[in-house]
Amino acid sequence: MSYTTQMDAARKGIVTPQMETVARKENIRIEDLMERMARGSVIIPANKNHKNLDAEAVGEGMRIKINVNLGISKDCCDVEPELEKVRAALDMKAEAIMDLSCYGKTQEFRQKLVEMSPAMIGTVPIYDAVGFYDKNLQDITVDEFFKVVERHVMDGVDFLTIHAGLNKHTAEKVKSAKRLTNIVSRGGSLLFTWMEINKAENPFYEHFDRLLDICEEYDVTLSLGDGCRPGCLYDATDASQVEELITLGELTKRAWERNVQVMIEGPGHMAMNEIPGNMMIEKRLCHNAPFYVLGPLVTDVAPGYDHITAAIGGAIAGASGADFLCYVTPAEHLRLPTLEDMKEGIVATRIAAHAADIAKGYPGAVEWDNNMARARAALDWDAQFALAMDPVKPVEYRKSSEPEHKDSCTMCGKMCAVRNMNRVLEGKDIQLDD
């Protein structure tokens, strides 16, 4: 029996190699995995042309995954530094990489990225369209937009961010909403501008079936973009954001009718107390499709530290139902991230995802922490380093300030609580004097 997409296979009861990989990784019965995929609450982004993909699942009951953004731009158009970031992101166990390239040798970079990456790959084709055609935005035709989409999927991209929900009706909400930051989504702002200048409907909304034709042919997952995501706390959960979300829910059903997998993108900037409610609204309006969030950043006043503000929001979002976290680096709002910025963003986001997995009771999540606790109780430094989410920094810290007594650290020395408790419970003497 043949199938077109992973969702189609699940609905027909066909077990794909990607499903087998995911079932093993997630330690889930393949029948349960397929049932969730058939409903659309779990996705396995897996373009037929991405030959070396090590499949991952996103959604209900799955471990929370993280995404890393990178790519070349007009100001930073050298391919090699971005490929170095790719290698580092893979070493640091990122499950997804989004290529946001918008200038220069974008196809060369994208093809190299797909070829070298077992992680799932995402792109935002409208970024590439502006640079590829080298013409004014308003002069790009509908056919030209779709030709770029086709080029990306042929190259093996597993998921596409398409801002199809920002239609004319939602655009009117944006104009009347009096937001402080208007539209901060790059893709959303480009489409809004194109629509306003050409007095036309969003081509990806108007010709959504054409988009589904492409996705179905290559088994590409649609990541329905949040063009109206809030760019500051003030704009969160306003009419524009919710109006677009309603439209995304409608488009999700249309995609599922064609067996096209879907995830929904979400905010953005948002106060902590609003995050759980937003997760609930998204899941309800979008029929429990997997939710992919940027942050949310829980304050607007920490430039240079937004990997922290995003990790706080990401942990809350994950614990409240988000399935996929997009990393944020310290360079957010300021510049293209360096390799070190990227590493900090990955670690912060992995912390948020793991903390949320623990809160949600993901099987085995807390055992990692329990193993670390055992290693700390035994003052087994090598075991602690091996268990560390990022083993490099703790090793460097330890070497930079070595204690007199190897079973302690330079913070406490002989007054180390763990060391002394171990000794007294073993019936040994404790000498605190030098």
Give the whole-angstrom CA distance, residue 415 versus residue 193. 64
Asked whether 56 and 80 are in contact (CB, 8 A), the reply is: no
287 marked as part of a ligand binding site? no
187 marked as part of a ligand binding site? yes
76 marked as part of a ligand binding site? no
**Among residues 346, 358, 278, which one has the least CA distance to residue 315?**
358
202 marked as part of a ligand binding site? no
2 marked as part of a ligand binding site? no
**Among residues 316, 306, 389, which one has the least CA distance to residue 347?**
389
Query: Which residues have CB under 8 Å from 79's CB, separation 6+?
Result: 72, 104, 105, 108, 109, 112
133 marked as part of a ligand binding site? no
69 marked as part of a ligand binding site? yes
116 marked as part of a ligand binding site? no
416 marked as part of a ligand binding site? yes
What does the block give as tokens for 155? 């190259």
- Which of the 8 DSSP states describes residue 288? T
> 385: burial class by Cβ within 10 Å (0-12, 13-18, 19+)?
middle
362 marked as part of a ligand binding site? no
What does the block give as tokens for 217? 């042919």
Give the whole-angstrom CA distance, residue 69 versus residue 92. 14
210 marked as part of a ligand binding site? no
Give the whole-angstrom CA distance, residue 16 versus residue 10. 8
DSSP for 317-354, please give it.
Answer: HHHTT--EEE---TTTTTS---HHHHHHHHHHHHHHHH
Query: Which residues have CB under 8 Å from 113's CB, separation 6+?
Result: 83, 86, 97, 99, 121
269 marked as part of a ligand binding site? yes
98 marked as part of a ligand binding site? yes
Does 296 sit behind a cis peptide bond, omega within 30 degrees of 0 on the bond before it? yes
**Among residues 172, 159, 171, which one has the least CA distance to residue 122?**
159
**Among residues 426, 427, 423, which one has the least CA distance to residue 405?**
423
Q: How far is CA 428 from CA 264, 380, 381, 406, in A?
A: 59, 19, 22, 17
286 marked as part of a ligand binding site? no
What does the block give as tokens for 192? 């809004």
50 marked as part of a ligand binding site? no
Annotated binding residues for substrate, written as ranges, equal: 69, 98, 127, 163, 185-187, 226-229, 265, 292
Annotated binding residues for Zn(2+), written as ranges, equal: 269, 333
Annotated binding residues, written as ranges, equal: 69, 98, 127, 163, 185-187, 226-229, 265, 269, 292, 333, 409, 412, 416
Annotated binding residues for [4Fe-4S] cluster, written as ranges, equal: 409, 412, 416
